[in-house]
C-alpha cells in the first residue's frame, strides 16, 4: 500500500525478494502537469509494469472495499506513504497486521511531513522506523529502527531518497524475522504537520541558520521563497556568512542577504516559469541591487 516515489524502493525490494504480492493499493490517478491529464502514481506504474493487480479506492471506509481487502487473505500489509486513513477493519484484516515504513525515529516527527520537518528544525540525526500500525497517528509500536546522521549539505530530496532506500531494507528484515513490537516512548513526541505556503515564505528576521534549515527542508519542492518585484523567488541552497545588516538587506551582488542573526549567501534560485539555476546566473538578468530591502 503506497503511492509516491518514497514507496518505490519498498515495493521493489519485497517484489524482488520473492514475496508474493497479492494486491497493490495506491491512490487513484489524478490530474497533473500542464495538460492536467490523469496520471497514475509511481507505485501504480510499478505494479502495472510487473503485472501486479492494482486497487485505487478513494477511501477504505466502505464495507465493500473492506471486504475486498480481506478477501486477498494476505499475511501482512506493507504500507509506505499510502496517504489514506486505514480504518480498524483494514488494520485487523491481516494476521500480521499493517507494517508501515516511517522516515523518522518515532515518536519524533509523527505525521505527514517528517522529512521536511526534520531538516526545517535543524535536526542532525534522524532515521527510519518500521511501525505496527494502529488507529492513532503514527502511534503504533516499533518493530525495528535505524538511525541516520544527516550530512550538512543534504536537502529534503536527498534525505528522502536515503531514507526510502533504508526503509525498504528494514522492511525486508522485519518481514523475514519475528520482531517484538516495542511501544513508543511517551516523551519526545513531535508532529510533522503538512507543509503549507506559509511554511515556505522566508522571514529575514529569523537567524541565517534557521532560514538555511528552512531552505534545505523545502528543497527541491515546494521550495522556500521571498517576494521581490511581485515575484516569488525560490531558493534551493544557501550558505551562512559572517556578515550583518538590517534583516532582509541585500549586502552585495553575489547576493548575500542580512538576516536577524548573520547573513545568507544565496546559491541556487528560481524565478517563476524559469529553470532552477545558480544565483550568479539568475542575477545576470534580474536586478537585486545592493541596499535593497526584501520583505
Per-residue 3-state assignment (H helix, E strand, C coil) for the chain: CECCHHHHHHHHHHHHCCCCCCCEECCCCEEECCCCEEECCHHHHHHHHCCCCEECCCCCCCHHHHHHHHHCCCCCEEEECCCCCCCHHHHCCCCCCEEEEECCCCCCCEECCHHHHHHHCCCCEEEEEEEECCCCCCCCCEEEEEEEECCCCCCHHHHHHHHHHHHHHHHHHHHHCCCCCECCCCCCCCEECCCCHHHHECCCCCEHHHHHHHHHHCCCCCCEEEEECCEEEEEEEEEEECCCCCCCEECCCCCEEECCECEEEEEEEECCCCCCEEHHHHHCCCCCCCCCECC
Question: Where does a domain end: 131, 157, 192?
Answer: 192
Residue with cell 479506492: 57
Would you state the pLDDT for residue 33? 78
For the segment 13-31, the average pLDDT, to the nearest whole number, is 97
Would you state the pLDDT for residue 44? 98
With contact defined as beta carbons under 8 Å apart, do 79 and 99 qualify?
yes
* Residue 292 forms part of a structural domain: no
Are residues 180 and 265 part of one domain? Answer: no
36 class by beta-carbon count within 10 Å (0-12 exposed, 13-18 middle, 19+ buried):
exposed
* Residue 295 forms part of a structural domain: no
Are residues 274 and 181 part of one domain? Answer: no
* Residue 162 forms part of a structural domain: yes
* Residue 294 forms part of a structural domain: no
Would you state the pLDDT for residue 257? 98
pLDDT tens digits for 109-145?
999 999 999 999 999 999 999 999 999 999 999 999 9
Question: Where does a domain end: 154, 173, 192?
Answer: 192
38 class by beta-carbon count within 10 Å (0-12 exposed, 13-18 middle, 19+ buried):
exposed
Would you state the pLDDT for residue 268? 98
At residue 8, does pLDDT exceed 80? yes
Are residues 217 and 180 part of one domain? Answer: no
Which of 26-40, 46-60, 170-184, 250-264 shows the lowest mean pLDDT across its residues? 26-40
For the segment 255-263, the average pLDDT, to the nearest whole number, is 98
Question: Where does a domain end: 139, 166, 192?
Answer: 192
Are residues 133 and 218 part of one domain? Answer: no
* Residue 152 forms part of a structural domain: yes
* Residue 288 forms part of a structural domain: no
* Residue 124 forms part of a structural domain: yes
Would you state the pLDDT for residue 284? 87
CA distance 229 to 286: 10
Q: Residue 247 maps to which CATH number?
A: 3.10.25.10
Count of domains for the chain: 2
Are residues 146 and 229 part of one domain? Answer: no
Q: In the chain, what percentage of residues exceed pLDDT 70?
A: 100
pLDDT band (50, 70, 90) for residue 153: very high
- Could you tell me which residue, 199 or 33, shows the higher pLDDT? 199
Are residues 144 and 272 part of one domain? Answer: no
With contact defined as beta carbons under 8 Å apart, do 251 and 243 qualify?
yes
pLDDT tens digits for 203-248?
999 999 999 999 999 999 999 999 998 999 999 999 999 999 999 9
Would you state the pLDDT for residue 34? 77
Are residues 218 and 188 part of one domain? Answer: no
Are residues 22 and 100 part of one domain? Answer: yes
Q: Residue 175 maps to which CATH number?
A: 3.40.50.170
Are residues 246 and 182 part of one domain? Answer: no
* Residue 290 forms part of a structural domain: no
At residue 88, does pLDDT exceed 90? yes
At residue 32, does pLDDT exceed 90? no
With contact defined as beta carbons under 8 Å apart, do 241 and 264 qualify?
yes
Q: In the chain, what percentage of residues exceed pLDDT 90?
A: 94
β-strands 224-228, 263-270 pairing: unpaired
Are residues 173 and 220 part of one domain? Answer: no
Domain coverage including residue 163: 5-192
CA distance to 224, 232, 247, 294, per residue, from 197 (Å): 9, 11, 21, 18
Amino acid at each position: 500500500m503506497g503511492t509516491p516515489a518514497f514507496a518505490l524502493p519498498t515495493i521493489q525490494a519485497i517484489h524482488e525478494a520473492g514475496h508474493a504480492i497479492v494486491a497493490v493499493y495506491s491512490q487513484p490517478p489524478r490530474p497533473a502537469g500542464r495538460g492536467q491529464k490523469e496520471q497514475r502514481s509511481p507505485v501504480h506504474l510499478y505494479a502495472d509494469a510487473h503485472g501486479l493487480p492494482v486497487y485505487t479506492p478513494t477511501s477504505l471506509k466502505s464495507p465493500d472495499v473492506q471486504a475486498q481487502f480481506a478477501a486477498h487473505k494476505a499475511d501482512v500489509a506493507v504500507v509506505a506513504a499510502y496517504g489514506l486513513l486505514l480504518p480498524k477493519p483494514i488494520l485487523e484484516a491481516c494476521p500480521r497486521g499493517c507494517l508501515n515504513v516511517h522516515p523518522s525515529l518515532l515518536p519524533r516527527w509523527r505525521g505527514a511531513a517528517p522529512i521536511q520537518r526534520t531538516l526545517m528544525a535543524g535536526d542532525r540525526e534522524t532515521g527510519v522506523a518500521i511501525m505496527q500500525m494502529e488507529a492513532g497517528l503514527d502511534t503504533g509500536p516499533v518493530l525495528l529502527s535505524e538511525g541516520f546522521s544527516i550530512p550538512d549539505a543534504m536537502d529534503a530530496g536527498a534525505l528522502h531518497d536515503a531514507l526510502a532506500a533504508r526503509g525498504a531494507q528494514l522492511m525486508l528484515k522485519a518481514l523475514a524475522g519475528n520482531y517484538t513490537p516495542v511501544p513508543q516512548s511517551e516523551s519526545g513526541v513531535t508532529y510533522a504537520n503538512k507543509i503549507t505556503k506559509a511554511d515556505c515564505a522566508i522571514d529575514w528576521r529569523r537567524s541565517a541558520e534557521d532560514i538555511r534549515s528552512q531552505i534545505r527542508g523545502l528543497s527541491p519542492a515546494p521550495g522556500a521563497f521571498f517576494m521581490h518585484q511581485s515575484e516569488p523567488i525560490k531558493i534551493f541552497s544557501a550558505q551562512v556568512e559572517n556578515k550583518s545588516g538590517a534583516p532582509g538587506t541585500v549586502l552585495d551582488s553575489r547576493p548575500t542577504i542580512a538576516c536577524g542573526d548573520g547573513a545568507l549567501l544565496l546559491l541556487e534560485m528560481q524565478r517563476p516559469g524559469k529553470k532552477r539555476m545558480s544565483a550568479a546566473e539568475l542575477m545576470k538578468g534580474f536586478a537585486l541591487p545592493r541596499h535593497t530591502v526584501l520583505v
